Amino acid sequence: MKLGFLTACLPQLPLADIAAWASENDYQALEVAVWPKVGGRDFEASHIDVAHFDDAQADDVRALFDKHGLALSSLAYYENNLHPDVERREEIAAHLLHAVDAAARLGVETVGTFIGRHPGLSVKENAELAERTFPRLVDYAGERGVKIIIENCVMEGWHPDGYPGNIAYSPELWEWMFSLGLYLNYDPSHLLWIGIDPVTALKPYVDRIPHAQAKDTQLDPAARDRYGFFGKTLSREHPWDEGWWRYRVPGLGQVDWNGVVDALYEGGFTGVLSVEHEDPVWGGTEEKVKQGLRIAHRTLSPLIVG
């Protein structure tokens, strides 16, 4: 197992600078953000322009990672593949396939995304839509030696009432998506706040997890008693303002990292555990983000056998 981080937390820095910093701070891998150069969400990052990526650029990226002794663990394009606007859905699929092509050129085994959700349909109806949407994407990737991995993020901000916007949030749904040829990019932080024990949920599925993410969650039960499980309603200031929990870097929340890493090892996981930094305390400036990554490294590195 290696310890890495997702580059999306440093969207303004070029990949060369991120790779140098990661190596200097004893990280072993990077999960590289590959959103389009022009995107919709304010935190999107494009550290490889996969839509215009050729063999010469692939050589440059490999040389950069070799120079710093890093592994490139996965390409990251987490978007709504069941977007309600059909034209937008096709744009997302096209970019995902660009990411697959880039991964194949680089010899990277996985591309991460979301299943997503059409918010006007039930979960069952969305599953039927996914069963029509994903086979061609999975086949395309498989023909190029690439696995599509799905993060189990709830993406509640994609739903108008804070309900799940990505139908991959529970083991029941993982088993369904595995039947489509998809894999899991396991992240324990999302399980904790929806009432699923991250270690118990992880153990049966390690063989379907080629890549994992490390993010923590801090819970506030007193606030939950006011707002309820689904979070703020009338007083919600923005789509992600749940009010009773927040993401933290590993070590500053309530995820059992000893249990998570031990379960990964016991299940035979040999991939990269990639820190996904979305901590509001250690965010907002480049230096604070980097300090958050240092905290995560101090928490996780003692658990990972070199």
Q: How far apart are CA 179 and CA 260, in angstroms?
A: 25
**Do residues 107 and 146 lie in contact, with contact meaning Cβ atoms separated by under 8 Å?**
no
Q: How far apart are CA 250 and CA 275, in angstroms?
A: 8
- The pLDDT value recorded for residue 42 is 45
Provide CB contacts within 8 A for 222, sequence distance 6+. none
Q: How far apart are CA 280 and CA 85, in angstroms?
A: 31
Q: How far apart are CA 197 and CA 50, in angstroms?
A: 36
Residue with tokens 């593949």: 81
Q: Which of 151, 163, 75, 73 is nearest to 115 (CA)?
A: 151
- The neighbour count for residue 226, using CB atoms within 10 Å, is 11
Domain ranges of the chain: 2-303
Correct CATH for 2-303 of 1.10.1330.10, 3.90.76.10, 3.40.50.300, 3.20.20.150: 3.20.20.150
Per-residue tens of pLDDT for the chain, all 306 residues: 999 999 999 999 999 999 999 999 999 999 999 999 865 554 579 999 999 999 999 999 999 999 999 999 999 999 999 999 999 999 999 999 999 999 999 999 999 999 999 999 999 999 999 999 999 999 999 999 999 999 999 999 999 888 999 999 999 999 999 999 999 999 999 999 999 999 999 999 999 999 999 999 999 999 999 999 999 999 999 999 999 999 999 999 999 999 999 999 999 999 999 999 999 999 999 999 999 999 999 999 999 986
Q: How far apart are CA 119 and CA 108, in angstroms?
A: 32
For the entire predicted model, the pTM comes to: 0.96
